[in-house]
Amino acid sequence: MKDHIKSANDIRVPDPNNVPIPTDRVMMNARKINPMDAAHVMDFGNLALGHPTASHKHVWLVDLAVNVYGLDEIKGSDRPISVVMLAHGWANKAKQMEAMASGLVGESLRLAHEGDREITHDMLVVTLDQRNHGDRRRNPDGLSTYRHPMRPADMLTVVTGGVHDYQLVMDLLASYLFPLDERVITRWMASGVSMGGHVAWRLLRDDSRVRVGVPIVSIPPEKLGTLLTIASEREGTLGTPVKPYPASLRRVYERATPPGAYMGKKILCLYGEVDAMVPYGLGAEALKGIMEEYPGDVQFWVQPERGHVCTPEMVQRAAIWFWRWGTSA
């Protein structure tokens, strides 16, 4: 497996004018290159990495449905538990992440038996439907495209809501799973694909409990607003009735990351080389700054000839990262 890029000096920051514009048409054309082109086809089933479907427990946090994967696999153990919060992407749903959750659980068990490190924690994976997705879908207009006037506000609302939901999980899941304190959850980790990666980034930045993360085909929080507004800015429609961008929304998107926000956190960023939806180049400058501030803690890998997809190779790298920093010593 080729090593991750660990040095900020290895990041090439492109000319912003040469970065592809993430519009509906760009995304549509990317997917039309070839219907069977693996670069742009998201095959959720392959993300299990050949492992069987992990055990699944459905937990209600009052009205919030949470899926917990891997409980049966760690039955009988008394180790503390690390939990991976796995967030799905825009217009997807938690059910589609079952294979990836199974892949992470399966690899965790494999590495526990075959790896050369002492296992200190067992691992679970949790998923949930993000706001207005899956079984929580209420507003048919709330899954807007880039051209929709409210897309910047809609995306930020779902991402922010996702952060709040997973913080609720961190606060209370253990009391539902282990009401007699049979087991303890001591570590929280985050991963997600596309919009789910944006949720993972924000959890890493804003919550001190989240110490390990693998954002997939997503960019640092400071650049999400750029991703959603660059096309409108070039077209001259941003801040007009066609695409409103009120100061209240701009302030949230452009909120600066506090110094030391990622201190001691282990972050692996995974990208597709030919991604037209979330071009790696849009976040390259911000990622370089983070890597310079925290040398060695933040690494990234760009998979050649892959677009806006999560691949088995990415899941395997994520699993090794979680094993290295979350479940072993």
Convert 245-303 into a string of H (helix), E (strand) and C (coil). Answer: CCHHHHHHHCCCCCCCCCCCCEEEEEEECCCCCCCHHHHHHHHHHHHHHCCCCEEEEEE
pLDDT confidence of 87, banded at 50, 70, 90? very high
Q: How far, in Å, CA of 212 to CA of 200, rounded?
A: 10
Domain that holds residue 79: 8-327
How many domains, in total, are found in the chain? Answer: 1
Q: Is 90 exceeded by the pLDDT of residue 47?
A: yes
Cβ contact 215:197 at 8 Å? yes
Evaluate whether residue 34 is within a structural domain. yes
Evaluate whether residue 3 is within a structural domain. no
For residues 125-140, give the mean pLDDT: 96
Token pair, residue 79, equals 């180790």
Evaluate whether residue 133 is within a structural domain. yes
Evaluate whether residue 321 is within a structural domain. yes
Q: Is 80 exceeded by the pLDDT of residue 311?
A: yes
Higher pLDDT, 253 or 141: 253
Cβ contact 162:57 at 8 Å? no
For residues 296-305, give the mean pLDDT: 93
Q: Of 151-165, 188-202, 252-266, which one has max mean pLDDT?
A: 188-202
What is the CATH classification number for the domain harbouring 86? 3.40.50.1820
Evaluate whether residue 2 is within a structural domain. no
Tell me the DSSP string of 121-186: -EEEEEE-PPTTSGGG---TTSS--TTSTTHHHHHHHHHHHHHHHHHHHHHHHHHHH-TT--S-EE
Beta-carbon contacts of 155 under 8 Å, excluding residues fewer than 6 positions away, are: 90, 195, 224, 228
pLDDT confidence of 239, banded at 50, 70, 90? confident
pLDDT for res 281? 86
Element holding 107 (H helix, E strand): helix 98-114
pLDDT for res 2? 62
Evaluate whether residue 1 is within a structural domain. no
- Length of the chain measured in residues: 329
Q: What is the pTM of this model?
A: 0.91
Q: Is 50 exceeded by the pLDDT of residue 31?
A: no
pLDDT confidence of 130, banded at 50, 70, 90? very high
For the chain, the average pLDDT equals 90
pLDDT confidence of 24, banded at 50, 70, 90? very low
